Amino acid sequence: MRFMTVLGARPQFVKASAVSRVASNSRDIVELIVHTGQHYDANMSDKFFEELGIPAPAIHLGVGSGTHGEQTGRMLSLLDETMRREKPDFVLVYGDTNSTLAGALAAAKLHIPIAHVESGLRSFNRRMPEEINRILTDHMSSLLFAPTKAGVANLAREGITGDLVKNVGDVMYDVALNIRETATTRSEILTQLSLGSSAYVLATIHRAENTDDLKRLKAIVDALSAISLRYDVVIPMHPRTKGRLAGSAISFSQNVRIIEPVGYIDMAVLCVHAGVVVTDSGGLQKEAFFHGVPCVTLRDETEWTELIELGWNRLAPPHDWKSIVGAVEKALALPPPTMRFPSPYGDGKASARIVKAMLAMANGAHRR
What residues act catalytically? 206
Rounded CA separation 276/330 (Å): 10
- Give the separation between CA 204 and CA 281, rounded to whole angstroms: 7
Burial 307-343 (b: 16+ CB within 10 A, else e): bbebebbbebbbeebeebbebbbebbeeeeeeeeeeb
Cβ burial, residue 270 (10 Å; 0-12/13-18/19+): buried
Cα distance between residue 250 and residue 210, in whole Å: 13
Which is nearest to 294 in space by CA: 267, 317, 272?
272
From residue 64, give the alpha-carbon distance in Å to each of 20, 39, 57, 82, 261.
24, 7, 16, 17, 17
The dihedral region occupied by 315, where left means phi > 0, alpha psi between -120 and 50, and beta the remainder, is beta
Would you say how long the chain is, in residues?
A: 368
